[in-house]
Amino acid sequence: MRLRPDLAPFQRSVPTKASLDFAEQIAALTGLPFDREAVAADSLSLHETMFADLVRILGLEADEIEFRSGSYFAVRAFAVRAESGAAHVGLDLTFDYWLAALAHLGVIATCEVLSQAQLQAIARQVNETFLLFEDASRFRSVREGLKPYLAGYPHLINLSEGLGRAMLVFTLCHELAHCRLGHLDRPGSREIELEADRAAAELFLEVGRHGESDRATTVHVDPKVAGAPIILMHLLALHEAWLTFHGITLDSTRPRAAERLAGIEPLIRPSLDEIAAYVVDGVANGIADIRSSLIGTG
């Protein structure tokens, strides 16, 4: 991944007419009011606000870890040591979209009775979404491809949006864990990633407990999607299968998603209520159905 020396994103998030139109369409589909000016203002610092909420909830010092979001031309989140010596977390905004889009497609495959043709169409859209990892410049065309699935299944947006947000919260917890565990000064390894996952699971559970008394934060985890970290690992396993099918060698310094799942599931699953457990198992089955159609799509 190529980074600027100051670790700033190559482009900042700026609300465009197209992005605001897209958000307004989603609000209309879900029957929610939409204040265009307020949404535009909030979008300028949404992820910074999320990170600040996380830091506050977890009892960290506000200036302990730097955070920036924007376009890094690489669909990922990361933690590194800045030249100043400070710990630094970065988030590429396309990764947030990647999670939200896959959450919605996975929820459709879970909750709807689909024909084989419909499932294959969803698999093609998943394929296009995975291609963002290879070329983030495809973002606008991929977003256009998602619109029919939002318009066609608006009753599922509440669940999928909450799931996508919760997966992002776990991702930020994972990067925070790297910072807190002293990983930034050590070479990357499978052991480090698994250790960060376990710590992130505990942080994620802490965020969930905070939400029992305070829902008014940008990182609130709805109890029904409290199993989001488990679902994220199923999605990452799907992505690994897609990479392997297309002849792309997996990074040997990072653990496979199945290994990561084995590490966090015993920590997350005992905290799930009956509905959350049902969501986890259902979406895992939906992802498996997508996989059966995806492997073999171009």
Is 155 inside any structural domain?
yes
Is 260 inside any structural domain?
yes
Is 35 inside any structural domain?
no
Query: From CA 97, how far away is CA 102, in angstroms rounded?
Result: 8
What pLDDT score does 5 carry? 55
Domain range for 276? 94-294
What pLDDT score does 16 carry? 81
Is the pLDDT reported for residue 224 higher than 80?
yes
Assign 7 a pLDDT band (cuts: 50, 70, 90): low
What pLDDT score does 298 carry? 45
Q: How many domains does the chain fold into?
A: 1
Is 238 inside any structural domain?
yes
Is the pLDDT reported for residue 10 higher than 80?
no
Is the pLDDT reported for residue 237 higher than 70?
yes
Is the pLDDT reported for residue 43 higher than 90?
no
Question: Cα-flanking dihedrals φ and ψ of residue 79, to 5°?
Answer: -130, 130
Is the pLDDT reported for residue 228 higher than 70?
yes
Is 9 inside any structural domain?
no
- Neighbouring C-beta atoms of residue 281, cutoff 10 Å: 16
Contact (CB, 8 A) for 93 and 70: yes
Is 46 inside any structural domain?
no
> Burial letters for 18-55: b for 16+ Cβ neighbours within 10 Å, e otherwise?
ebbebbeebbebeeeeeeeeebbeebeebbeebbbbbb
Is 12 inside any structural domain?
no
What pLDDT score does 283 carry? 98
What pLDDT score does 12 carry? 66
pLDDT 10s digits, 245-292: 999 999 999 999 999 999 999 999 999 999 999 999 999 999 999 999
pLDDT 10s digits, 127-183: 999 998 888 778 888 989 999 999 999 999 999 999 999 999 999 999 999 999 999
Pure H helices in the chain: 17-30, 36-43, 46-57, 93-111, 116-130, 139-152, 157-180, 190-211, 228-245, 257-268, 274-294
What pLDDT score does 29 carry? 84
Between 39 and 3, residue with greater pLDDT: 39
Is 163 inside any structural domain?
yes
Assign 3 a pLDDT band (cuts: 50, 70, 90): low
